[in-house]
Structure 1
């Protein structure tokens, strides 16, 4: 019995998918430990918000009650604003104006409350702030970066003139670079970029770090070029990381996939452009980069608070408006928007697509669904805030299933059956007809880059010389961003505490060694401390920081040139993988590949045929099951080579980026309604 799946089926048999599953929340809390008074207050507010949300319209008292809840919790704030906007119409608009005017006139609000009231004003197109109000807010909340950003957005939305000197003064404050760029952009929008004092900008905004970004940003805004030619255009979002920083921070295999997928899709004669957007905090790279024929990568300078676990929840509507304004300024008109995460940034893009009456494609994965229960199927005991965060993502997934014009599942029919367990609404015929299962893919000929090969050969020679003895034994390789969920800590323990360390050396690649985030630093510190405590592994365990995808492929190629009695192994230690780009790349290089049994790897990997599926829950299971396959199975060298060759064949026949891109183009055309294409 799986309690989570039973609750999902129970809730969605009785409630609209648009409604927050408060019945699930109640059932969960009933089975969990006691919650405190403030947490119970949040639950009660959620229930009241959703009760009001079921109505067709609100009266003044009910709307006032919703506004009174603002500022208690970041997630209830999101649900309150969503409910107001969902029910907003011409009849409600005067009431919204009255409640908002009364609220603002008291000046007793917190910055959190004010932030969301500004959101309501902008979304409902009601300009209620006087000049005095704006000046008061800019001064009182000068140190609240998110509120200042939203207030600047308000001034931009309603083209509020008369604040030029005030904005220039704000630019001199020690704000993040992307907020300063928003200020300069506002000055340009209120008048023209030609009137902005460039000497002032050079002195107060541009620095050695952001100069490349700023210059390219201003050029892009001033350009009259239009991204138009025959064919459909695709906008795909990737709000985690950068194409050039794969393996650093929270930037994983998705960047590798979307970069190569965008390049291939843009080559198709049916496609005009592929635009990939991300949000950048480190303004060190150009605003716009081009890859391939017509693949355009756009780094949006949107400020996000790095101190909160879910920075998108508060900034959802700002993200939607920012992207919409940029598309208008740049004269980019996507036909299809493609989103890939259950988060509020993806939800922002989904709402923008619907506002622009464009088609929406959504890649569906059961995350966090798979992490809501333990190995026995019992609901996990989660902290209250973690629980609310996960349920918000579950709610977003259900909304996006309803609103999407096309749904993509990663993998094959077996994975689709698993998705149906977590998303009972997929069994509905109308929804099912909008869904297609498509795998992920890789570039199979990437190592053919002659200049890259020559450059890397020199670097590898140095690396090999410094670690000459390391490569005189078979290697266990693991590539990816550093994270507890990626299991590198467990892999190091599994290798060092088992027979694996007697036959193989361990090479881990990933992470930002120069500026690690908190989670990366935690993993790096563990590595360093572990080697200090176990000095016998000092020369047999290597951790290298993130490398470019080409460098990784060339490194794998060099490793595989060395033949031993035992095979070189690629071991993905993630607790689960939705698919696994790094796994496919290792299989294509003929590593003996081991992947997690949880997730989508089982859609293309079969035990003993083209690789091995193992339980990656902890170091003990990793060590035990890897030992079983490598030693206890009594397989000889030739049998391992047969499995390795089969793995390579699996990738070459099924997961080349060329094949995958053709499937995506066909799906996009079908979603758009082109003839001779069906979903």
Structure 2
């Protein structure tokens, strides 16, 4: 029995999806022994919000209730604003305007409540602030960057001129670059970019770090070039990382996939452009970069509060939607298909924008965090309330996107689809089930290498060899990816050092930003250093290197695999779970013996003992035990390992070339576009 899956089936069998996640919270509050009074209040508020939503009608009483809760919790704030906007219509516009005026006149608000009130005003087209209000807020909240940002958005939306000197003054304050770029946008939109005092702007914005971004951004604002070509255009959102920072921060295999996929899809004659958008906080790279003639990578300088650890997008959801929408209009970009890939509020914002523009929406669906809601016995995990409500928000977003998407992509094959059906009982609906297409991920195979590439590859290998001259004189266990607890590198180091693996193999872990690590990266890096210091016998046999480019890694892998030993070189993915595993596919294609987590989507292409091995990556003990079992199995000799490695290469070559995968995506996109044409 699996309590979480039973609960999911119960909710949807009874057609009570509209009160989710309330039912789950009710069940949690009845079982939990640790819930406190504050958390009970949040649940009570969610219950009230959902009851109002089910009425499908707003009156003064309901608006008063919703406004009274605003500002107390980031998740209830999101539910409140969503509910109000969902039920908003012209009939109640005057009531919302009156209630908002009352709230602002009494100044019964803190900055959190004020932020969402301004958000609501912009979305409902209610220009309610007087000039005095704006000046007051610019002064009072000048150190509250969320308020300054939403206030500028308000002034921009309603074209509130008359504050030029005050806006210019914002540039002189110690603001992040993203806020200053928004100031520049506001000046340009209110007074035209030609009239902006460029010398003042340059003096107060440009520095050595951001000058490349600024120059390319100004060039974009001043150019007449528009993205106009015949054919279907695709917009895919990334929001985590950068094409040029693979392996750093939260930047994982998705960037590698979307870069290659975008390039390949854009080669199709029926496609005019592929636009990949991300949100950047470090303005040290160009605003727009082309990969090929028709794949355009766009770094949107949207301010996000970096002190927020759990969910940076939830508060800024509507701002993100408007920012992307404004950029598309300004650039005259008119995507035919939007493709989103995460259960988060940024992806939700793109979905809403897509529907506002009456375009087709594609959504890649994964059972995350669903598969982490229960323990090995199928019982609901006893999560802390904060973690629980964060996961429930993601599950709620997934359920909403299933209904609003025109096409749903599952990562993998029919077996993975069966797993999706377990977590998403909505698939029983034939209308929804008919929207699903199962497509794997892919990599570039047999990428050509010129002399320069070979030199780079030799230099990278020499650099690593110089760290320890004898390191590559033994078989290597390789692990590549961003540094994270969920990626399991700490468990891998412990598994290797506490097992026979350290006697036969050296360990090479590649990933992480060594120059400016985030908190999680810093924790993992420090663990590595402390561990080797405490166990000096492993100093010469374990190497950790910071993130490298995808090309560097693949060239390094080719060099490693050339060296032949009695035991095979191993690529070991230590992630707790992996939705698919781009790095695994790349290592398979080079010829590594690959070991991947049994949890997730790797099992859709890895057949245990045939083209690789599936292992339990829950902790270092299971990693060590199961890896030892496979590597030192007396029934598998060197020739048998080579057959498994060759089978892995064949699997990738035949099924996961980026060209094959891109053809499947283009076919899917065009089928949705065809539906639109038929409607017309």
Identify the TM-score tier after normalising by the shorter chain: over 0.9
Alignment match, 1:271: 271
Deviation string for 1:73-111 (max 9, x for gaps)?
Answer: 000001101011000001011111100111111123100
Deviation string for 1:352-384 (max 9, x for gaps)?
Answer: 000000000000001111111111111111111
Alignment match, 1:184: 184
Alignment match, 2:382: 381
Deviation at 1:259, TM superposition (A): 0.1
Q: Give the 3 Å change call, closer, same or farther, for CA 662–45 of structure 1 in structure 2.
A: same
Indicate the SS of the match to 2:289: strand
Alignment match, 1:238: 238
Deviation at 1:402, TM superposition (A): 0.2
Alignment match, 1:490: 491
Alignment match, 2:656: 655
Alignment match, 1:97: 97
Indicate the SS of the match to 1:296: strand
- The answer to whether 1:453 aligns with 2:430 is no
Q: Give the 3 Å change call, closer, same or farther, for CA 634–31 of structure 1 in structure 2.
A: same
Farther off after superposition, 412-421 or 449-458: 449-458
Structure 2 matches for 1:520-669, cutoff 5 A?
Answer: 520-669=521-670
Q: Give the 3 Å change call, closer, same or farther, for CA 375–542 of structure 1 in structure 2.
A: same
Alignment match, 2:287: 287
Give yes or no for contact 1:409–1:437 (8 Å, CA) kept in 2.
Answer: yes
- The answer to whether 1:146 aligns with 2:142 is no
In 2: Cα distance, 1:86 partner to 1:168 partner: 37
Deviation at 1:67, TM superposition (A): 0.5
Deviation at 1:229, TM superposition (A): 1.2
| Structure 1: gaps spanning 5 or more residues | none
Give yes or no for contact 2:460–2:552 (8 Å, CA) kept in 1.
Answer: no
In 1: Cα distance, 2:201 partner to 2:510 partner: 40
Deviation at 1:19, TM superposition (A): 4.2
Farther off after superposition, 665-674 or 328-337: 665-674
Q: Give the 3 Å change call, closer, same or farther, for CA 498–211 of structure 1 in structure 2.
A: same
- The answer to whether 1:510 aligns with 2:511 is yes
Equivalent pairs counted in the alignment come to 677
TM-score (normalised: structure 1): 0.98
Alignment match, 2:214: 214
Alignment match, 1:63: 63
| Structure 2: gaps spanning 5 or more residues | none
Give yes or no for contact 1:578–1:601 (8 Å, CA) kept in 2.
Answer: yes
Indicate the SS of the match to 1:446: coil
Farther off after superposition, 267-276 or 461-470: 461-470
In 2: Cα distance, 1:497 partner to 1:597 partner: 22
- The answer to whether 1:354 aligns with 2:348 is no
Deviation at 1:634, TM superposition (A): 2.9
Deviation string for 1:529-584 (max 9, x for gaps)?
Answer: 00000000000000000000000000000000100000000000000000000000
Farther off after superposition, 399-408 or 220-229: 220-229
Give yes or no for contact 2:18–2:50 (8 Å, CA) kept in 1.
Answer: no
Alignment match, 1:251: 251
In 1: Cα distance, 2:330 partner to 2:552 partner: 37
Give yes or no for contact 1:248–1:510 (8 Å, CA) kept in 2.
Answer: yes
Alignment match, 1:134: 134
In 2: Cα distance, 1:449 partner to 1:423 partner: 47
Indicate the SS of the match to 2:316: helix
Q: Superposition RMSD on alpha carbons, in Å?
A: 1.2
Q: Give the 3 Å change call, closer, same or farther, for CA 409–86 of structure 1 in structure 2.
A: same
In 2: Cα distance, 1:299 partner to 1:223 partner: 17
Structure 2 matches for 1:265-344, cutoff 5 A?
Answer: 265-308=265-308, 309-344=310-345
In 2: Cα distance, 1:671 partner to 1:447 partner: 34
In 1: Cα distance, 2:468 partner to 2:537 partner: 15
Give yes or no for contact 1:570–1:586 (8 Å, CA) kept in 2.
Answer: yes
Indicate the SS of the match to 2:556: helix
Indicate the SS of the match to 1:298: strand
Alignment match, 1:43: 43
Give yes or no for contact 1:447–1:553 (8 Å, CA) kept in 2.
Answer: no
Indicate the SS of the match to 2:90: coil
In 2: Cα distance, 1:546 partner to 1:74 partner: 34
Give yes or no for contact 1:11–1:24 (8 Å, CA) kept in 2.
Answer: no
Indicate the SS of the match to 2:14: coil
In 2: Cα distance, 1:193 partner to 1:676 partner: 38
Give yes or no for contact 1:556–1:586 (8 Å, CA) kept in 2.
Answer: yes
In 2: Cα distance, 1:605 partner to 1:248 partner: 27
In 2: Cα distance, 1:452 partner to 1:322 partner: 39
In 2: Cα distance, 1:646 partner to 1:459 partner: 28
Q: Give the 3 Å change call, closer, same or farther, for CA 430–128 of structure 1 in structure 2.
A: same
In 2: Cα distance, 1:466 partner to 1:250 partner: 27
Deviation at 1:16, TM superposition (A): 4.6
Give yes or no for contact 1:446–1:550 (8 Å, CA) kept in 2.
Answer: no
- The answer to whether 1:80 aligns with 2:74 is no
Alignment match, 1:427: 428
Give yes or no for contact 2:273–2:295 (8 Å, CA) kept in 1.
Answer: yes
Deviation at 1:633, TM superposition (A): 4.4
In 2: Cα distance, 1:631 partner to 1:89 partner: 68
Deviation at 1:451, TM superposition (A): 2.2
In 2: Cα distance, 1:237 partner to 1:18 partner: 27
Give yes or no for contact 2:456–2:552 (8 Å, CA) kept in 1.
Answer: no
In 2: Cα distance, 1:36 partner to 1:98 partner: 36
Give yes or no for contact 1:8–1:24 (8 Å, CA) kept in 2.
Answer: no
Deviation string for 1:327-366 (max 9, x for gaps)?
Answer: 0001111000000000000000000000000000000001
TM-score (normalised: structure 2): 0.98
Alignment match, 2:403: 402
Q: Give the 3 Å change call, closer, same or farther, for CA 675–639 of structure 1 in structure 2.
A: farther
In 2: Cα distance, 1:667 partner to 1:450 partner: 38
Give yes or no for contact 1:11–1:21 (8 Å, CA) kept in 2.
Answer: no
Deviation at 1:448, TM superposition (A): 2.3
Indicate the SS of the match to 1:54: helix
Deviation at 1:15, TM superposition (A): 4.0
